[in-house]
Amino acid sequence: KAGVTQTPRYLIKTRGQQVTLSCSPISGHRSVSWYQQTPGQGLQFLFEYFSETQRNKGNFPGRFSGRQFSNSRSEMNVSTLELGDSALYLCASSLGGTSAEAFFGQGTRLTVV
Amino acid sequence: TQLLEQSPQFLSIQEGENLTVYCNSSSVFSSLQWYRQEPGEGPVLLVTVVTGGEVKKLKRLTFQFGDARKDSSLHITAAQPGDTGLYLCAGPGGAGGTSYGKLTFGQGTILTVHP
């Protein structure tokens, strides 16, 4: 059974640009959550999608957005990049029911210069 | 606000030693999960504990969930260099509102096992 796939693995962008990250969840999983991980803040929750609907959102500015497609694949977009957006962005998939078990992808390392 | 406090933050030990990592909260969690993460990779789920007082063993790793479901511990027996990594505890939910798909993470414990 394939795991969670995130693309690309690495990205270098310039301040002010925008970026789109992709996540393919485990087959059969309908919930996709996104996290930002930095050395100072640890893992911070961005948002969660289930059946193409955003059900939950963390405390991040509106520059961070996402969506989910009918096949459960998800994308997140960051517009007007800032240096502080440099981080490891992680996607986690789960069944979306009462179980909290989440399975993470390898992440996308975003560097903003 | 549901917070998870992990201790210690750093742990540097010799191969063969035992160690315990703690994860504490003032809030009750319906379950807690432990993850291990290597540099540049995503966290890998080790175990989920659900019942207060539950003890789960995974080879040399023993996980315990507190009776009141507010704390958990991870004990490693005879640590090996391959155990080196960042250990994270996590629980569902967070400050206010719905907890859908949201895990609250502890700050993590960086474990280094020297040969």
Q: Tens of pLDDT along B37-87?
A: 998 899 999 999 999 999 999 999 999 999 999 999 999 999 999 999 999
What's the pLDDT at A97? 67
pLDDT, tens digit, for every residue of B89-112? 999 875 544 577 889 999 999 999
pLDDT score of B101: 82
Residue B34 pLDDT more than 60? yes
Yes or no: say if B21 and B108 are a contact pair by the CB < 8 Å rule: no
Mean pLDDT by 10 residues, chain A (113 residues): 91 98 95 94 93 92 97 97 98 80 95 98
| pLDDT reported for residue A30 | 92
Query: Which residues fall within 8 angstroms of residue B17, CB to CB, at 6 or more apart?
Result: B78, B79, B113
Give every CB contact of residue A28 below 8 A, 6+ residues apart in sequence.
Answer: A95
Mutation pick from A9, A11, A32, A37 vs chain B, by most beta carbons of B within 10 Å, is: A37
User: For residue B112, what pLDDT is reported?
Assistant: 97
Q: So what's the pLDDT on residue A42?
A: 92
Would you list which residues of chain B are within 8 Å, Cβ to Cβ, of chain A? Answer: 30-31, 33, 35, 40-45, 48, 88, 90-92, 94, 97-108
Q: What is the structure's pLDDT at B93?
A: 76
**Is the Cβ–Cβ distance between B59 and B78 less than 8 Å?**
no
Tell me the C-alpha distance between A80 and A17, whole Å. 5
Cβ-based neighbours of B100, under 8 Å, separated by 6 or more:
A31, A48, A50, A55, A56, A96
CB contact under 8 A, B108 and A31: no
Task: Please tell me the predicted confidence (pLDDT) of residue B100.
Answer: 74
